[in-house]
Chain A
Amino acid sequence: MPEVKLVNVTKRYGRIIANDHINLTIKDKEYISVIGPSGCGKTTLIKCIAGIIEPDEGEIYIGGRLVNNVPIEDRGIGYVFQNIALFPHMTVWGNITYGPRVRGFPPEETEAIAREMIEMIKVTARVDAYPDELSGGTQQKTAVARALMTRSRLLLLDEPLGALDLKVRAALRYELRRIVKDLGLTALHVTHDQEEAMSISDRVVVMRRGRIIESGRPIELYMRPKKLFTANFVGEANFLVGEVKLITGEGSIIDLGDGMKILSRDRSREMGERVVVAFRPEFASLGRTCENALAGKMTSIIYSGDLVRLHVELPNGDVIVVKRSLRLYEPIPRAGDEVTVSVPPENILVYPYPERGLHRELSLE
């Protein structure tokens, strides 16, 4: 039932347009994430849905009902805050049962739901503990339990894991997904952490400067981003500038200068067009394994646990990154060695050269 639909939602703060004609539909039981750099309007969007702020224009529908003028308490949502916001003067039990109490549920029912919820969410804390006695992770779980106590089917999460340690964050995101799926909820999760969004959600929406620029399944966004900005924002990528030389049945051949050519399966660009070629470091491999092979010189190697990033300088001075796992029991070249980097044509993405320049288009701030 809680399908959420936003039509042309716009919110301005003076000159800043925090949300610019947002159109978005969240399907029932869908787990959707909104990502984007700080200040792109994510919080504004989720607050508009919750009714915490009123949009200047546009309509918001929850379960088919227009809710623009419905106060927060009647929208039937569960909201989880970045700063957790457990009521400091109440115990865990007091916090969890707050919703039912203020809605006047009978005490027996409140108690039953609370027990069920504590079990379900695995709130391990003592129910008579106060929030400041709990660790960050336990606090946030308690907050999720509190938000779900009123049996709302729509869960809104604004950077729910932002205040926590990285390891706790990684553990809790599985928990969140499990809870949402087990209870059959619809969830909207806002975060600046693209990895969190990709691992947790059914669909990811990318925002920039108040607008939605793209949305799709995580794997699609990662493998085939439609926009250059997305390609950079959802994960590490190499970017090279070139010109379309030839379009054949195989794909397009792009000239990168200094005698380097690269083949992409993408044939949507025109002959002679100035383009940006992108590929992810994990699809690049050392040695000549396919038709796309670039020669270069290793400049540095960065290890991080099971992964290694190899920096390779091309003849034109560009540096590309190759990422591979150490589990492939092959020797790793040393800095200074001449190497060949291959990238399968399927994994080469091509974009028109941005008007504002490559650097500004890719800027993460």
Chain B
Amino acid sequence: MSSRLVVSCTLVTFIIFVMLPTFYLISYVFLRWDEVWYEVFANPIIGDENWRQIIKALIFSFRLSLSTVAFDLIFGVPLAYVLARKRFPGKGLLEDLVTLPLVIPTSGFGFATLVTWTTVAGLGGLLGMRSGLISLNAVAPFINVPFILFIVHVALTFPYVVRTVETKIQSIDMTYEIASRTLGAYSLTTFRNILFPLALPGIFSGAVLAFARSLGETGATMIVSGVSTTASIAIVRWASEFKIPTAAFMGSLLVFIAWVIILPAEIYVSRGRRAHSLSFSVPMNLTRRIIRFERFLSRKLFFIKDIVPLVIVAVAVVIPIAVVLNSVILYWSADPYTGKIEGGVVHQLFGPSNYFSHLLKATLTSIIVALVSTYIATCIAIPISFIIERRWYGRIIRTMLKVPLIIPTSSLGLSVLLLWGSSGLNLVSSGIWMIILTHIVFSVPVVVESIIASYEGSGIQMYEESARTLGATAYNAIEAVSLPLIKGGVFTGFILSFTRSLGETGATFIVMGRDLTIPVLVVNMVEALAIPAALFTSTYLIALSLVMLAIVRVFTQR
């Protein structure tokens, strides 16, 4: 039957372009175990120094990611609740602000945060100080990680928790909460007893996504990390030092860890609803005290849950963006503090270093990469989404698709390099084509998730069955009924994946060869201390993404 042919073709394409690159790294380590062993554990000169580096980077990354997730949960869950259940003016704007870090290029955003907190052009200057508000290496208390790094990671992972939990809460019938209220439970008591247990799978998967994202973040981390080294930065560094076996070993460790986190989470989430009931007995008078406390909070302090998350969004997302925009203006013609025109945006762009031509070239590369990879990814994602929804092995594919979504992009880049590049199949060399191949890998899951979200809410199966009994063939039905119904999902997925591709840094670094993209250019400028040029480029990049987001808004509101 022809439908079998379509399914097979789709699956083959999917395996070659998405699954193979994702898992190749692990097989690489096994295939070249001798080299890995030699370089990581038994180097004649430095012994197991590389192994110790790996462990150190991993421990630091874990500390950073865990504290980030904890913070996200404490403030993200209440915000998700408010967004899912309340209607208020400016809600759409707030949602966009929360989502912003998902779509703005991370290196640009990292740079914005850096400027805001550590330079005189940022908050320090605003508060009348002659220096930045804090130093780059200031360490946050308790969690013992650099403060800036922590802020950046919170901002970048917050949307994963908020959006996932928000979607989950929206899918829970509000009648349960109303029922609980009519039975005499205060809103906080209701939250604890009803909403929280029912939303637990969502909270859990939001936390997993945030954790993995934090573990793999490269672009912004590179800019703000100072002397600290996270696991994903280590990969980029080793790859650029040609310590490929060490980088590959570290990369496959991260892929492996991603698996170890996702699998139990998927199993937990897919179990029946009863599995989530948490039952522990609490003494009666304690319960009563808890309830009285909840009553107090529900009545008197309800605004805390509304206000605090707003402050976080403002501090972590809005202020940095505003500061960068402001700085570009300040630095336009000359450095405002020293008065040197070498320190101005105009000079750096058009002067001897001529960053403007680099920027033009990078823009072209970025846009070609984003367009081509997103287009191909969408072509793969549409049939894959249908397969996920209709075949018994759909669940398995969907679970596997989570892996490229959350493994560190630097491991992904490395994997693609080793697979297609000169040391592997030798079909593609570093450069724009390899960037495209890499971006396809993480774009497919982005588009698929978006299509599935619109698929599942729309009762497509019923409409298709109707169409079939009215005389439409299976293909007719998909074309005339299903595709128009999921059009919005495809479009949203396209834009999300486009912006993600536009802002990707970690993987691009490894596979780009001589073709720079804009986010990489930002990192290079920062490393060359061309701060005003970096300011301008970041602003430019953020603006580009904002336009994209605005298009999505307009489209989805219609």
Direct contact of A and B (CB under 8 A): yes
Known A72-B182, A83-B175, A104-B288: A89·B189 in contact at CB below 8 Å: no
Q: Is the CB of A99 within 8 A of B183?
A: yes
A83 with B181: in contact, given A89-B276, A102-B189, A102-B291 (CB under 8 Å)?
no
| A50 and B189 contact, CB distance less than 8 A | no
B284 and A73 within 8 A (CB): no
Taking CB atoms, residues of chain B closer than 8 Å to A104 are 284, 287-288, 291-292
Which chain A positions have C-beta within 8 A of B143? none
Q: Assuming A89-B274, A90-B277, is B180 touching A102 (CB within 8 A)?
A: yes
Asked if A87 contacts B194 (CB within 8 A), the reply is yes
How many angstroms from the CA of A87 to the CA of B182 in the assembled complex?
Answer: 13
Determine the distance from Cα of A150 to Cα of B181 in the docked complex, in whole angstroms. Answer: 12
A3 to B288, CA, bound (A): 31
- Which B residues touch A106, using CB under 8 A? 284
Q: Point out the residues of chain B lying under 8 angstroms from A103, CB to CB.
A: 183-185, 291
In the complex, the answer to whether B179 meets A88 with C-beta atoms within 8 Å is no
Taken residue by residue from 176 to 203, chain B's Cβ proximity to chain A (1 for < 8 Å, 0 otherwise) reads as 1011111111100110011001100000
Asked whether any CB of chain B lies closer than 8 Å to the CB of A77, the reply is: yes
**Given known contacts A79-B178, A106-B284, A107-B284, A85 and B183 CB-to-CB distance under 8 angstroms:** no
**Chain B CB within 8 A of A257 CB:** no
In the bound complex, CA of A107 to CA of B288 (Å): 12
Assess whether A98 is interfacial by the CB under 8 Å rule. Answer: yes
B184 lies within 8 A of A89 (CB): no
* Chain A, residue nearest B291 (CB): A104
Q: Answer whether residue A81 sits at the interface, using C-beta atoms and an 8 A cutoff.
A: yes
Could you list 28 examples of A-B contacts with CB < 8 Å?
Answer: A50-B178, A52-B181, A72-B178, A72-B182, A73-B185, A77-B182, A81-B175, A85-B175, A87-B179, A88-B273, A88-B274, A89-B274, A89-B277, A90-B277, A99-B185, A101-B287, A102-B183, A102-B184, A103-B291, A104-B284, A104-B291, A107-B284, A130-B274, A146-B183, A147-B182, A149-B183, A150-B183, A150-B184
Whether A78 contacts B182 by the Cβ 8 Å rule is: yes
**B241 contacts the other chain (CB 8 A):** no
Interface residues of A in 147-193 (CB under 8 A from B): 147, 149-150
The contact of B181 among A71, A89, A101, A147, by CB within 8 Å, is A71
Q: Which residue of chain A has its CB nearest to the CB of B290?
A: A104
Q: In whole angstroms, how far apart are the Cα atoms of A102 and B183 in the complex?
A: 8
Are B274 and A102 interface neighbours, CB within 8 A?
A: no
B20 CB to nearest A CB, Å: 41
Decide if B34 is an interface residue (CB 8 Å cutoff): no
Q: Which A98-118 residues sit within 8 Å CB-CB of chain B?
A: 98-99, 101-104, 106-107
Q: How far is the CA of A150 from the CA of B274 in the complex (A)?
A: 25
CB of B193 within 8 A of CB of A50, answer no
Q: How far is the CA of A79 from the CA of B175 in the complex (A)?
A: 11
Contact B194 A99 (CB under 8 A): no
CB distance from B72 to the nearest CB of A (A): 24
A83 and B173 alpha carbons, distance in the complex (Å): 10
Tell me the smallest distance from the CB of B291 to a CB of chain A, in Å. 5
Asked if residues B178 and A52 are in contact (CB atoms below 8 Å), the reply is: yes
- How many angstroms between the C-alpha atoms of A73 and B191 in the bound complex? 14
A83-B175, A89-B198, A89-B273 are known contacts; what are 7 more A-B pairs with Cβ within 8 Å?
A: A73-B182, A85-B178, A89-B277, A98-B193, A102-B291, A104-B287, A147-B182
Report if A85-B198 is in contact (Cβ < 8 Å); known contacts: A79-B179, A99-B183, A102-B180: no
Residue of A nearest to B200 (CB): A89
Beta-carbon contact of B176 and A85 below 8 Å: yes
Q: Are A87 and B185 in contact, with the CB atoms below 8 A?
A: no
Over the window 84-96 of chain A, the binary record of Cβ atoms lying under 8 Å from chain B Cβ atoms (1 yes, 0 no) is 0101111000000
Size of the A side of the interface (Cβ < 8 Å), in residues, is 30
Q: Which chain B residue has the least Cβ–Cβ distance from A79?
A: B182
Closest to B185 in A: A102
Question: What are the residues of chain A within 8 A of B291 when measuring CB–CB?
Answer: 102-104
Bound Cα distance A130, B178 (Å):
20
Which residues of chain B in 250-300 are interfacial with respect to chain A, using CB atoms and an 8 Å cutoff? 273-274, 276-277, 284, 287-288, 291-292
Residues of A within 8 A of B288 (CB): 104
Chain A residues engaging chain B, CB cutoff 8 angstroms: 50, 52, 71-75, 77-79, 81, 83, 85, 87-90, 98-99, 101-104, 106-107, 130, 146-147, 149-150
CB distance from A271 to the nearest CB of B (A): 56
* Complex Cα spacing A50 to B180, Å: 12
| Binary CB contact string for chain B from 506 to 522 against chain A (1 if under 8 A, 0 otherwise) | 00000000000000000
Contact (Cβ within 8 A) A73 B173: no
A-B pairs, 9 with minimum CB distance:
A99-B183, A102-B185, A72-B181, A79-B182, A85-B175, A104-B288, A89-B277, A103-B184, A85-B179
How far is the CB of B295 from the nearest CB of chain A, in Å? 9
Distance to closest chain A CB from B183 (angstroms): 4
B521 to chain A, nearest CB (A): 50
- CB closest chain-A residue, reference B192: A102
| Complexed CA–CA distance, A99 and B194 (Å) | 12
Complex CA gap A52/B455 in Å reads 31
Separation of A147 and B291 alpha carbons in the complex (Å): 20
Minimal beta-carbon separation of A266 from chain B (angstroms): 45
**Are the CB atoms of B176 and A87 closer together than 8 Å?**
yes
Is the CB–CB distance between A88 and B185 below 8 Å?
no
- Chain B contacts for A73, CB-based, 8 A: 181-186
Chain B residues, CB < 8 A from A87? 176, 179-180, 194
Contacts of A52 in B (CB 8 A): 178, 181
Looking at B179, B181, B183, the one whose CB has the most chain A CB atoms below 10 A away is: B183
A74 to B276, CA, bound (A): 29
Residue of A nearest to B175 (CB): A85
On chain B, the residues within 8 Å of A99 by CB distance are 183-185
Residues of B within 8 A of A50 (CB): 178, 182
With A52-B178, A83-B175, A107-B284: A88-B198 Cβ-Cβ less than 8 Å: yes
Quote the shortest CB–CB distance from B191 to chain A (angstroms). Answer: 12
| B444 CB → nearest A CB, Å | 34
Residues on B with beta carbons closer than 8 Å to the beta carbon of A78: 182
- Complex alpha-carbon distance, A130 and B288, angstroms: 26
Contacts of B176 in A (CB 8 A): 85, 87-88
Residues of B with C-beta under 8 A to A130 = 274
Is the CB–CB distance between A89 and B197 below 8 Å? yes
Task: Give a binary string over B154-186; 1 marks a CB under 8 Å from any A CB, 0 the rest.
Answer: 000000000000000000010110111111111
CB distance from B453 to the nearest CB of A (A): 22
